[in-house]
Structure 1
């Protein structure tokens, strides 16, 4: 058999990144395509950045032809509508263009599409309904295809929901009892990759796998509580007493997550995520196991092979704290600027007057620095400009410290230590800057 070329769309995500690297290790020629790749994800010349979702069917046809693709793996997906994220555009419209491109390519191409488990009757969110619409388009296309429906994916990396469960495992905190009891059948990410490799080795005209839909997950039933417990065993926190959060806190957290989503962030706790969590993750992997002879590992086998390292523990502990850090910094800059400008303007201006600043400069400096502080807070609030805001905040804080040292040195020894506290604020902004990456 000649070396097969596999085109992986969404090669920067949890599944897409692992699949791209693992299939290369298995001897396939793999082209990894993503809208954006981090510097750590561009280790191969075969990893390319391309605005894949904006390509029309003709451009997609050219992409398939340029790389002589034999198999296309579609790992693209978004959880919820927001700035730059449209479930209809990603799950349904793009798949329609991709199917047209494959049909127009003149090549015998197999499409492997990553979907979600469950039934259409249980779909309640735009995420789920558009995923199911994509499945229907694929099923009626006549193109050789495999629709893979992974369960809860356990991988060496962790994004989104998988990161949130690790974070819960690192703290003595449980979800409400009802949510902890939902079914949650997991699958190891390497078994998804092994399945794609098995399919890629088959000819596109092999009738036994020309049109299949498989649930990929361990056969043994397990609940979310069981998943979190297994992570706690790996983290060494299983013996800790645990406190279950009330349901209203979970719903409130989801609403706050939706607000953060409008600012460009992608928090794991959003209303769609909670709705899908409450539905659970279930399926029947028997057809997949029978066809491929892959014996799915249990959760204990999967996690047990990767005991938590210090890096795992730090990530899990800091994952939820990251949101708190950014929220505090946004509030710090907005509130400090607001108070100086509107609540205690005379007191703020009086500091400059008391230190013999020229009267003509007192008001401009007070107003300017207040507006600057509030602008920094707004920059940090939006994901796209957060790095600029943090850097500006560090520079502004250093400016305040050095300026005060020259012009008003007595402020360094004032009883409340306002300038002394600026140092820890700078450190916190530096920590936030270092934690900004999502993958």
Structure 2
């Protein structure tokens, strides 16, 4: 049998990245496509960056033909509408163009589409309804397809909801009791990849794989509390006393997450994530197991094979703290600039005047540095400009320290130690810079 070529769309994501790498290890020829790849993900010449969501049907047809594709695996998805994210465009409109491209390619191509478990009558979010719309379009297309509906995906890496659960497991906090009791059937990412490999190896006319929709998950029922408990065993925190957060705190976190989303960040705790969490993750994997013969890994096999390493523990502990670090730095720069400009302007200007600063420069310097501070806060607030803002904050802080050492050295021994405290602030900004990566 000739080597099959598989096109993986969304090859930078949690599922897409693992699938692309694993299928290559199984000796398939894999073309990984993503809008952007991190430097660490550019390990294969066959992984390419493309504005995939903006391609029309003819461009997609050309892509399929240029690489002589046999199987397309669509792992593209967005959680919630927002700047740069449109659930309808990604889940429904793009899939319609992809189906048109496959139909026009003149080649027998199978589409493997990653969707979500659940039923249409329980769909309440734009994320879920557009995912279900895509399923209906695919089912009516007439092309060979497999719709895979993974449960809660557990992978060696972590992103979004899986990262949030790891973070909870490494902390003394629990979600509210109602959320902890929701059904939450997990699946190992290895089982997803094994399923795609099974499908890719089938002949295009094989009736057992021509038009299928499967739930992929551990068949044994389990709750979110059970998943977190297993992570706690791995992290060594199972014996810790736990404090359940009130429901209003979860709702407040979702609103703050939505606000962060408007600024370009992708926090795991947003309104859609909480709504889907409360619905739970359930399904019937019997059809998948019977057709493929794959025995899904149990939760213990997924998580409990090895204790968490130090890098696992550090990531889990710092994941939710990242939001607090960024928010505190934004507040620090905005508030310090605002106070100097509007609340204590005379006192701020008086510091310069009392140390012999030229009178003509006192007001411009006070106003300029205050505006600079607030601008740094605004830059850090937006995800796209955050690296620039953090670097500017570090340079500005070093500049303040150097300027004070030259012009007002006595401020270094000021009783409240304002300049001395600038050093830890610089360290915190360096830490924030090192935590900016999402993938």
Report the TM range for the smaller structure's normalisation: over 0.9
Alpha-carbon distance between aligned partners in 2 of 1:405 and 1:397, rounded to the nearest angstrom? 12
The 2-side partners of 1:209 and 1:43 are apart by: 32
1:295-374 aligned at under 5 Å gives the runs: 295-374=295-374
The answer to whether the aligner puts 1:401 opposite 2:401 as a matched pair is: yes
Who is 2:168 aligned against? 168
The residue correspondences of 1:16-27 to structure 2 (distance < 5 A) are 16-27=16-27
How many angstroms apart in 1 are the aligned matches of 2:10 and 2:153? 16
Q: How does 1:228-247 map to 2 (within 5 A)?
A: 228-247=228-247
Identify the residue that residue 157 of structure 2 maps to in structure 1: 157
3-state SS in 2 of match to 1:159: coil
- The equivalent of 1:114 in structure 2 is 114
Shift >6 Å, 4+ stretches: none
What is the match of residue 258 of structure 1? 258
Q: Could you tell which deviates more after superposition, 299-308 or 254-263?
A: 299-308
Partners of 1:438 and 1:294 lie apart in 2 by 32
The aligned residue for residue 206 of structure 1 is: 206
Q: What SS does the corresponding residue of 2:335 show, helix, strand or coil?
A: helix
Change in Cα spacing, 1:306 to 1:15, as seen in structure 2 (3 Å) is: farther
Secondary structure of the residue that 2:208 maps to in structure 1?
helix
Q: Distance in 2 between matches of 1:278 and 1:167?
A: 18
Counterpart position of 1:187: 187
Name the structure 2 match of 1:218: 218
Which 5+ residue runs of structure 2 have no aligned equivalent? none
Within 2, Cα distance between the matches of 1:379 and 1:345? 23
Q: For 2:300 and 2:99, how far apart are their aligned partners in 1?
A: 38
Shift of 1:307: 2.1
Structure 1 residue 297: Cα displacement: 0.9
CA distance in 2: counterparts of 1:126 and 1:306, whole angstroms: 38
What residue number does 1:79 align with?
79
1:306 Cα deviation after fit: 3.5
Q: Give the distance between the partners of 2:90 and 2:348, measured in 1 at CA.
A: 51
| Alpha-carbon shift at residue 301 of structure 1 (Å) | 1.1
Partner of 1:53: 53
Q: C-alpha displacement at 1:206, in angstroms?
A: 1.1
- What's the RMSD between the two structures over aligned residues? 0.4
SS in 2 for 1:32: strand
Partners of 2:68 and 2:340 in 1: how far apart?
A: 63
Q: Write the distance in 2 (CA, Å) between the matches of 1:25 and 1:307.
A: 25
Q: What SS does structure 2 have at the residue aligned with 1:215?
A: strand
> 1:142 aligns to what SS in structure 2?
coil
Query: How far has the Cα of 1:55 moved from its partner?
Result: 0.3
Q: Secondary structure at the match of 1:212?
A: strand
- Give, in whole Å, the separation in 1 of the partners of 2:136 and 2:254: 30
Following TM superposition, by how much is the alpha carbon of 1:411 offset from its aligned partner in structure 2, in angstroms?
0.6
1:276 aligns with 2:296: no
Shift of 1:393: 0.3
Aligned mates of 1:427, 1:47 — CA distance in 2: 36
What corresponds to 1:103 in structure 2? Answer: 103
CA distance in 2, matches of 1:410, 1:56: 65
Q: Distance in 2 between matches of 1:403 and 1:96?
A: 60
Distance in 2, matches of 1:176 and 1:204, equals: 47
Q: How many residues align?
A: 439
- State how far apart, in whole Å, the 2-side matches of 1:243 and 1:436 are: 29
Deviation per residue, 1:64-123 (Å, 9 max, x gap):
011110000000000001111000000000000000000000010000000000000000
1:128-149 per-position Cα deviation (integer Å, ceiling 9, x unaligned): 0000000000000001000000
SS of 1:2 mapped into structure 2: coil
Secondary structure in 1 matching 2:7: strand
Report Cα offsets for 1:172-209 as digits up to 9, x if no partner. Answer: 11100000000000000000000000000001111221
